[in-house]
Chains A and B, each alone.
Chain A
Amino acid sequence: MIRELHEKLINKEITAVQLAEQYFDVISKKDKDIFAYLTLTKDLAIAQAKKVDEKIARGEEIGMLEGIPGAIKDMICVEGYRTTAGSKILDNYIAPYDATVIKNLKEAGAVILGKTNLDEFAMGSSTEHSAYGPTKNPRDLERVPGGSSGGSAAAVAASEAVWALGTDTGGSIRQPASFCGIVGLKPTYGRVSRYGAIAMGSSLDQIGPLTKTVEDAAIVLSVISGEDKMDSTSAQSPAKNYLQALTGEVSGLKIGIVKDYMEKLTGEVKVSFEKVVERYRESGAEIKEIELPNAKYSLPVYYIIMSCEVSSNLARFDGVKYGMRAEDQKDTMLDFSPEDRTLIETYLDSRKYGFGAEPKRRIMLGTYALSSGYYEAYYLRAQKVRTLIKKDFEKAFSEVDLILTPTTPSPAFKFGEKTNDPIEMYLEDIFTITANIVGVPAISVPGPEVEVDGKLLPQGFQLMGKWFDEEGVLRAAHAYEIDADK
């Protein structure tokens, strides 16, 4: 899709400003119902588009993403614009700097339309935890778009943006991509700089693209990835052009399917997934059954490690340096009058009124797990089981090139279906979470759709690759996609 728009720009069939305005038109028509965006950055978008048009007018060559409009999850800082993380505690936060990915996108001439909705601090799988209200799934407005990058996924699916950035700590790019029928890529941990992305689980977080096609994901990844001095965990690898990986060839490729996962699949999702497996087999890939014996512990390992990291990362929101300060709140936890709030009461109340229920639950769980006497039983044990899961993957990747799973256990669910039971919501991440625990790249690609209540809904499948083998993941995903288009 990006390639066609790029051709139109260089052939002067449309200007970058016209293209941006077309997208703002779509947003003004559709976003009342979908609510993908929290903030529009129209001044920025038009200024960026003008620069691209000037370059084209001067006869200069432009890059593939130059002049192409996209959306940014409101978890990532864009200088001069509000960045809320979907939370009231950052309601008035104006980012004083650009995240590295934004800096890279601006240098590449990409046009930024706005900031998209998300579950508060990226904690959730439906956007129902956003303090600003939920985003709707463009395919069925009664259903959730997935989360936490639900706004980004809905924006792309509803053609309110060509591409979008999300963040993925346990599936937050891939699960909404699956629910909305688009492509979502979580790169290898360290492939993309996290500088300027609001931290959730620092050993798990990655920024990645949500797009309509695999080729588009490769184009966006080529721009945003690379080593960054501002993120000491970013990988020491040169920037790459991932388009070169898309050869359309999978023959001879060894693809693993996980025995345990296959046994758990039921109904339409099972049928959809089996079709994907069959398609790869027909294209010449060798399908091999593999075992990941410790993967069944992924969810509990994740919930301990993530919550501990959350409790530490979210300590910075204290009503002192930036964000909401509880001064106008009347009742306090302790019996003091608000005017005389002490420092500790300012902390307690700013966090009480600033955070929603889910961040509070996770902060408290992490605080408990890290507290004196519990550290070894929870955090340290979880980190050791993490090692075991990593070893499972190392062994699996000595036998196969890629691992194929469904992205989600079921297609998009209805609003309110899972909000009462936190664990029900956590189980949404069962297939996506291991890629974050072991740090490997993983992509969700639209597979055969499934019928629910007489309606066809999108269902994605996931390909996980070896550490830093985004090329392999993208190649196999792209091969499926071009085959499906035939």
Chain B
Amino acid sequence: MITKEEVRHIAGLARIGVDEKDIEKFATDLSAVLDWIEELKEVDVSGIEPTAHITGMENRMREDAILEFENRKKIIDLFPEKKDNYGKVKSVL
């Protein structure tokens, strides 16, 4: 069971603003899904390697070279706030 306090904590970690009135609903929904995935606890996984990549592909190397991106302006146009050719960010400190 996920508590309302835990929902606040998770939402903060996930950087999602949540209204107080929605916290209860998220707590119920997340708890239901977590209860449902509990059944994985019954599986014996001792000595089993985890699978992160399914086709068993190994790391692939490439030359560390600069590739020019032609549509630079199109990316700059997407900045929500900009000054000249720079994306503007809120002050961090």
Those 6 A-B pairs whose CB atoms lie nearest each other, nearest first: A352-B17, A383-B50, A439-B54, A96-B74, A348-B17, A333-B17
Q: How far does the Cβ of B77 sit from chain A's closest Cβ, in whole Å?
A: 7
Chain A residue contacts of B87, Cβ below 8 A? 320-321
Q: Are A300 and B40 closer than 8 Å at their CB atoms?
A: yes
In-complex Cβ contact of B78 among A80, A96, A333 (8 A): A96
Most buried by A among B6, B39, B51, B80: B51
Q: Are B52 and A203 closer than 8 Å at their CB atoms?
A: yes
Q: Are A387 and B14 closer than 8 Å at their CB atoms?
A: no
Q: Are A390 and B54 closer than 8 Å at their CB atoms?
A: yes
Chain A residue contacts of B91, Cβ below 8 A? 342-343
Q: How far does the Cβ of A124 sit from chain B's closest Cβ, in whole Å?
A: 14
B43-75 vs A, Cβ < 8 Å mask (1 yes, 0 no) = 101001111111101001010000001010011
| A318 interface residue per 8 A CB criterion | yes
Identify 7 residue pairs between A and B in the complex whose beta-carbon atoms are under 8 Å apart, listed by A's number: A80-B74, A343-B92, A346-B90, A360-B18, A386-B54, A422-B32, A423-B33
Chain A contact residues, majority secondary structure: helix
Q: Are B53 and A364 closer than 8 Å at their CB atoms?
A: no
Q: Are A349 and B17 closer than 8 Å at their CB atoms?
A: yes
Chain B residue contacts of A311, Cβ below 8 A? 14
In-complex Cβ contact of B16 among A363, A390, A467 (8 A): A363
Chain A residue contacts of B90, Cβ below 8 A? 341-343, 346
Chain B residue contacts of A320, Cβ below 8 A? 80, 87, 89
**How far is it, in angstroms, between the C-alpha of A365 and the C-alpha of B14 when the chains are bound?**
10
**How far is it, in angstroms, between the C-alpha of A246 and the C-alpha of B17 when the chains are bound?**
52
For chain A, residues 383 to 415, give those with C-beta under 8 angstroms from any C-beta of chain B: 383-388, 390
In-complex Cβ contact of B77 among A94, A383, A423, A439 (8 A): A94
Interface-facing stretch out of A19-27, A34-42, A65-73, A229-237? A229-237
| A241 interface residue per 8 A CB criterion | no
Q: Are B54 and A363 closer than 8 Å at their CB atoms?
A: no
A188-219 vs B, Cβ < 8 Å mask (1 yes, 0 no) = 11100000000000010000000000000000
Most buried by B among A232, A332, A341, A353: A232
| A254 interface residue per 8 A CB criterion | no
Residue of A nearest to B33 (CB): A365
Most buried by A among B32, B49, B57, B80: B80
In-complex Cβ contact of A387 among B10, B51, B74 (8 A): B51
Q: Are A367 and B13 closer than 8 Å at their CB atoms?
A: yes
Q: Taking A97-B71, A383-B52, A390-B54 as contacts, is the C-beta distance between A364 and B14 under 8 angstroms?
A: yes
Q: Are B15 and A229 closer than 8 Å at their CB atoms?
A: no
| B86 interface residue per 8 A CB criterion | no
Q: Are B54 and A438 closer than 8 Å at their CB atoms?
A: yes
Q: Are B50 and A360 closer than 8 Å at their CB atoms?
A: no
Q: Are B54 and A303 closer than 8 Å at their CB atoms?
A: no
Interface-facing stretch out of A112-120, A128-136, A276-284, A374-382? A374-382
Q: Are B50 and A386 closer than 8 Å at their CB atoms?
A: yes
For chain B, residues 1 to 52, give those with C-beta under 8 angstroms from any C-beta of chain A: 2, 6-7, 10-11, 13-19, 26, 29-30, 32-34, 36-37, 39-41, 43, 45, 48-52
| A12 interface residue per 8 A CB criterion | no
For chain A, residues 302 to 321, give those with C-beta under 8 angstroms from any C-beta of chain B: 303-304, 311, 315, 318-321
For chain A, residues 330 to 355, give those with C-beta under 8 angstroms from any C-beta of chain B: 331-333, 341-349, 351-353, 355
Q: How far does the Cβ of A47 sit from chain B's closest Cβ, in whole Å?
A: 18
Q: Are A323 and B80 closer than 8 Å at their CB atoms?
A: yes
Question: In the complex, how many residue pairs between chain A and chain B have their CB atoms under 8 Å apart?
Answer: 167
User: How many of chain A's residues have a CB under 8 angstroms from any CB in B?
Assistant: 73
In-complex Cβ contact of A360 among B2, B16, B78, B92 (8 A): B16
Residue of A nearest to B91 (CB): A343
In-complex Cβ contact of A388 among B10, B18, B41, B48 (8 A): B48
**How far is it, in angstroms, between the C-alpha of A244 and the C-alpha of B92 when the chains are bound?**
58
Q: Are B30 and A368 closer than 8 Å at their CB atoms?
A: yes
Q: Taking A318-B15, A365-B33, A384-B45 as contacts, is the C-beta distance between A190 and B52 under 8 angstroms?
A: no
Q: A203-B52, A422-B33 are in contact. List 4 more A-B contacts (CB 8 A).
A: A325-B81, A344-B15, A352-B17, A352-B18
Residue of B nearest to A363 (CB): B14
Q: Taking A367-B10, A385-B43 as contacts, is the C-beta distance between A361 and B30 under 8 angstroms?
A: yes
In-complex Cβ contact of B10 among A331, A332, A368 (8 A): A368
**How far is it, in angstroms, between the C-alpha of A207 and the C-alpha of B38 when the chains are bound?**
31
**How far is it, in angstroms, between the C-alpha of A401 and the C-alpha of B10 when the chains are bound?**
45
Q: Taking A190-B57, A203-B54, A387-B48 as contacts, is the C-beta distance between A322 and B80 under 8 angstroms?
A: yes
| A261 interface residue per 8 A CB criterion | no
**How far is it, in angstroms, between the C-alpha of A110 and the C-alpha of B11 when the chains are bound?**
44
Chain A residue contacts of B50, Cβ below 8 A? 380, 383-384, 386-387
| A251 interface residue per 8 A CB criterion | no
Chain A residue contacts of B17, Cβ below 8 A? 332-333, 345, 348-349, 351-353
Residue of A nearest to B19 (CB): A333
